[in-house]
Amino acid sequence: MNPVALSLYLHFPFCLSKCSYCNFNSYAGMERLIPDYLGAMEKEILLWKMFAREYSSQSSFHEEFQVETVYFGGGTPSLLQPEQIAYVIERCRAFPFAVAPEITLEANPGTVQEKFFARIRRAGVNRLSLGAQSFNDGCLKLLGRIHSANEAREAFLCARKAGFDNINMDLIYALPGQTMPCWQNTLEEALRLHPEHLSLYSLTLEEGTPLAGWVKAGLLPLPDGDLAADMYLLAEEILDREGYSHYEISNWAVPGKECRHNLAYWKNTSYLGVGAGAHSFLFGHRFAGVSSPQEYVEKLSALERLPPSFLEVGGEKSHLDFVEGADVEREMSDTVIMGLRLQEGIDLASFAGRFQRELLPAYRQEIEELVELGLLDADEKGIRLSGRGKLLGNEVFMRFLPPNSTGSALS
Ligand code: SF4
């Protein structure tokens, strides 16, 4: 039996302070909980390992897993000590690792030094995702980031010096008041550093965040949708010229340096999320842990075992917040929606092999209408977003939602 590739996501919900735009599951001022939280994560990994063994022997899921990718996300995982990171990686080895796993850590430029990078590299981290966000100090201040543009630059150079040869940089555009020259300058500053990967996100004003409140109160101008689209097109043009491949709606990479971990999400394959609020897609179920770090620690300390039937009964008395069983319509829909985010789109033969159903008859009307509207390209091999479709992704994805869906895949 060939092992099934598994991606492990490890969530660290601790930050030094909360950024003005952020509605992620992250908390400032809770660092005292980190040791207990790491203990809870260690226990969760072992419980899942035991569960996988029992579940495979008692259900139709006869699966052996092999970890292809590990992703330390947050929050701010770079607040951890290198020894703690090494310890967590070792605990993950409860599941066998592939020969060359990708191990990514998200780093906040305001929390790191050269020594840190050298030590986490020795611990096995081989990819960094640096939350630079902007190279304009005014924008960084507006976003409530704890670092300056220069500190982001320094952090990148330190990581390089420590030997990292696979670095992503996150940047945000369409900020209130941001001009096109300001965005272009941020892009050019980033490119001067030659990152292997760039993730570019248009700012979303999230209800309840200070930034959304300032815009609502009229203190800041609402970002203009047309300008945001132009900023995206400018990035496409510049990054294309620089040789980056635009392999996903918001992601560009030097060919061969695409993020293997995120590709698992976009291809809708197995992943296990460990930690408060972390999401998983495994054993034919989708599930997520409780989002409060304190509650997560308490629930884990009271857990001794995950009985083989507990996913079927909705994760009762466990650390999970929700569990959803498999549903082929939902899986097909998620596979199309996530797969269309990729430049390569959906391959007809792979889809048919996975679901024993042909894509075109299953979604004929939706596909024909979207092709007609110029949002989708279709040929004998598959379907993919057109240039215009990339700008209007959610309009395309909505058409593939199953009836009565909440639209949770559209994020
Ligand atoms: S560092 Fe990241 S997770 Fe933490 S508050 Fe800022 S945006 Fe949110």
For position 406, what pLDDT does the model report? 57
Kindly state whether residues 260 and 351 are assigned to the same domain: no
d(CA 304, CA 273): 19
Q: Which residues of 98-122 are buried (b: 16+ CB within 10 A; e: fewer)?
A: eeebbbbbbbbbbbbeeebbbbbbe
Number of H-type helices and E-type strands within the chain: 16, 17
Answer whether residue 282 is part of any domain. no
pLDDT category of residue 204 using cuts at 50, 70 and 90: very high
**Domain limit, last residue, from 264, 299, 315:** 264
Answer whether residue 100 is part of any domain. yes
Number of compact structural domains in the chain: 2
Percentage above 90 pLDDT, the chain: 87
Place of tokens 């990035």: 235
Quick one: average pLDDT of 285-296?
Answer: 96
CA distances from 176 to 170, 180, 222, 298 (A): 18, 12, 6, 40
**Domain limit, last residue, from 244, 264, 284:** 264
For position 373, what pLDDT does the model report? 97
From 36-45, 81-90, 293-302, 312-321, the region with the lowest mean pLDDT: 312-321
Q: How far is the CA of 388 from the centre of ligand 1 (A)?
A: 31
Kindly state whether residues 57 and 164 are assigned to the same domain: yes
Answer whether residue 293 is part of any domain. no
The partner residues of 151 in beta bridges, in order of sequence, read: none
Kindly state whether residues 258 and 387 are assigned to the same domain: no
For position 316, what pLDDT does the model report? 81
Q: Residues 209-251: pLDDT tens digits?
A: 999 999 999 999 977 899 999 999 999 999 999 999 999 999 9
pLDDT category of residue 410 using cuts at 50, 70 and 90: low
Contacts of 199 (CB under 8 A, 6+ apart): 129, 168, 169, 170, 171, 250, 251
- Residue 248's nearest CA partner among 264, 231, 269 is 264
Q: List the domain range (segments joined by +) for residue 192.
A: 4-264
Answer whether residue 68 is part of any domain. yes
Q: How far is the CA of 15 from the centre of ligand 1 (A)?
A: 6
Nearest CA to ligand 1 atom 3: 75
pTM: 0.95
Answer whether residue 364 is part of any domain. yes
Which residue among 12, 26, 140 is best mutated to probe the pocket of ligand 1, counting the most ligand atoms within 8 A of its Cβ? Answer: 26
3-state secondary structure at position 295:
helix
Which residue among 11, 19, 72 is best mutated to probe the pocket of ligand 1, counting the most ligand atoms within 8 A of its Cβ? Answer: 19
Kindly state whether residues 240 and 349 are assigned to the same domain: no
| DSSP designation for 342 | B
Kindly state whether residues 229 and 354 are assigned to the same domain: no
Q: Residues 185-200: pLDDT tens digits?
A: 999 999 999 999 999 9
Kindly state whether residues 248 and 362 are assigned to the same domain: no
Higher pLDDT, 161 or 312: 161
From 21-35, 156-170, 252-266, 302-316, the region with the lowest mean pLDDT: 302-316
For position 407, what pLDDT does the model report? 54
Nearest CA to ligand 1 atom 5: 18
Nearest CA to ligand 1 atom 2: 75
Kindly state whether residues 50 and 178 are assigned to the same domain: yes
Answer whether residue 409 is part of any domain. no
Inform me whether the pLDDT recorded for 1 exceeds 80: no
From 18-27, 281-290, 322-331, the region with the lowest mean pLDDT: 322-331
For position 313, what pLDDT does the model report? 81
For position 39, what pLDDT does the model report? 97
Q: Which atom of ligand 1 lies nearest, measured to the CA of 106?
A: 2
Kindly state whether residues 253 and 352 are assigned to the same domain: no
Residue 41 sits in a domain whose CATH number is 3.20.20.70
Answer whether residue 301 is part of any domain. no
Helix 82-92, helix 34-58: angle, nearest 10: 10
First and final CA of the chain: distance in angstroms? Answer: 35
Q: How far is the CA of 146 from the centre of ligand 1 (A)?
A: 10
**Domain limit, last residue, from 249, 264, 279:** 264
Kindly state whether residues 79 and 228 are assigned to the same domain: yes
Inform me whether the pLDDT recorded for 62 exceeds 80: no
For position 408, what pLDDT does the model report? 52
Answer whether residue 96 is part of any domain. yes
Q: Which atom of ligand 1 lies nearest, measured to the CA of 26?
A: 3
Identify the residues whose C-beta falls under 6 Å from ligand 1. Answer: 15, 18-19, 22, 24, 26, 74-76, 108
